[in-house]
Amino acid sequence: MTSLKHAVGSVFQPIFHVVGWMLALCYDLIPNYAIAITMLTIIIMAVLTPFTIKSTKSMMAMQKLQPEIKKLQQKYKGPENRQMLNEEMMKLYREEGANPIGGCLPMLLQMPFLFILYSVIKGLANKVLIHGVLTSVPRYIPTSSKMYTSLTASNGQIKAFGMDLNLKAFSVHSSFAAQIPFFVFVAVAVALQYFQMAQMSNRSKKNGIAIPSQQLMMQRFFPIIFAYFYLVIPAAVVLYMIVSTVIRIITQDLMFRAGISNPNKGKDPTLEPGEPREIPAIEAKPSTTKPAASKPGVPRSSSNRPSVAKPQPNSRSKAKRKRKER
C-alpha cells in the first residue's frame, strides 16, 4: 500500500509544484491565503467551465428525453429485449446529443483537483524535526516567494481572517468559539451545493420537464455525503469548494438567461411547455385516375373534381371565349 501511494505521489509531483507555484504567485499579488486560494480556484474553474457548460446542456437534454426513454422501456420490456433497448437508447442519445453520464462530468473533473489541492495544502504546512525542534519547511512552493517566508515565520500556520486554513472542523482548536467558523464553512459549502443542484431541478420544472428519480435522489443525498467529506478535509480545500460551487451557480444562471441550455429552444412557440411536437403527416399525392364524367347539364360535384386546381384564365382568354360563343 505504501509503495502504491509513493508511486501515485511521484506521478503527481510535477503537478503539485505547478499548482504550488500558481498559489504562491497569487499570494505575491495579494498577501492573503484565503484570497490567494480564491484566485487559484477562479483560474482552475476557468479551465473547467467549458466542461460545466457541456455537462449542463447534457443534463437538460437527458431530462427532455425522459418521456421518450419511458416509451422505449415500455416497448422493449423483459430481459430478452435488453440488448435492443440499449441500442435504441444509445441511438436516441446520439440523435439528441445527450450523454447519460454528462451530468457527473463536473464532479468527476473536480476530484483530481481536490486531491491536488489537498496535497499542496498539506505540503504548505509541512514540518520537519531539525535539531529536536519541529520547524516549518513548506513544500511545492518557491523558497523565494512571499508565501514561503510567511509560512516559515508563522511555523506552518495558514492564517486568514482568524482561521488556520490547514485545520479541519474536528481538529484541535484553542476554543469552541474558534471551531465555529469551520462548521460554518462546511454548512455554507453544503448549502451552496444543494442550491446548485436545485437550480437545475427548478429550471426543469419551469420548462415542464419531468425530473428523473435518480436526479432527485442525488439532490437529496449528495450534500449529506459531501458534508462528511468537508468535515475531514482542511478548511482551505472547503474554501475551494465554496468558490467553485458559486462559479458553477453563476455559470448555470447565465446559461439559463441566455437560453443556451433551454431544451424547448427551437420548438413551436404555440406548444405548451413539455407538450411534444406533433410530426406532420406526409401529404398524399393527387390521384392519377380520371374523374368520372358528369352528365350534361348536371354540375360536377366537388368530390369528383380533380385535387389539383387548374390555373385561372386571364382576362384576354375570357374575352376570346365570349367571342367564340357569340
Q: What is the dihedral of CA 10, 39, 107, 208, to 10 degrees?
A: -170
Name the 3-class secondary structure at 322.
Answer: helix
For residue 139, count CB atoms less than 10 angstroms from its CB and return exposed for 0-12, middle for 13-18, buried for 19 or more.
middle
Distance CA 294, CA 303 (A): 12
Name the 3-class secondary structure at 165.
Answer: coil
> The pTM is what?
0.68
Q: How many CA atoms lie within 13 Å of 106's alpha carbon, on the beta-carbon side?
A: 28
Q: At what angle do helices 33-64 and 176-206 cross, to 10 degrees?
A: 30
Residue 19 has what pLDDT? 94
Nearest to 196 by CA among 239, 244, 248, 238: 248
Residue 42 has what pLDDT? 95
Residue 275 has what pLDDT? 44
Quick one: which H or E segment has residue 159?
A: strand 159-160
Nearest to 188 by CA among 117, 243, 233, 225: 243
C-alpha cell at 291: 374523374
Per-position pLDDT tens, the chain of length 326: 556 556 666 778 899 999 999 999 999 999 999 999 999 999 998 988 887 777 777 777 777 777 888 888 888 888 888 888 888 888 888 777 676 666 566 667 778 888 899 999 999 999 888 888 888 999 999 999 999 999 999 988 999 988 999 999 988 888 889 999 999 999 999 999 888 888 777 766 666 665 566 666 766 777 788 888 899 999 999 999 999 999 989 988 888 787 765 544 544 444 443 444 443 343 444 444 444 444 454 444 444 444 444 445 554 455 545 555 54
Residue 308 has what pLDDT? 47
Residue 48 has what pLDDT? 83
C-alpha cell at 69: 426513454
Strand partners, 136: 127
183, 169 in Cβ contact below 8 A?
Answer: yes
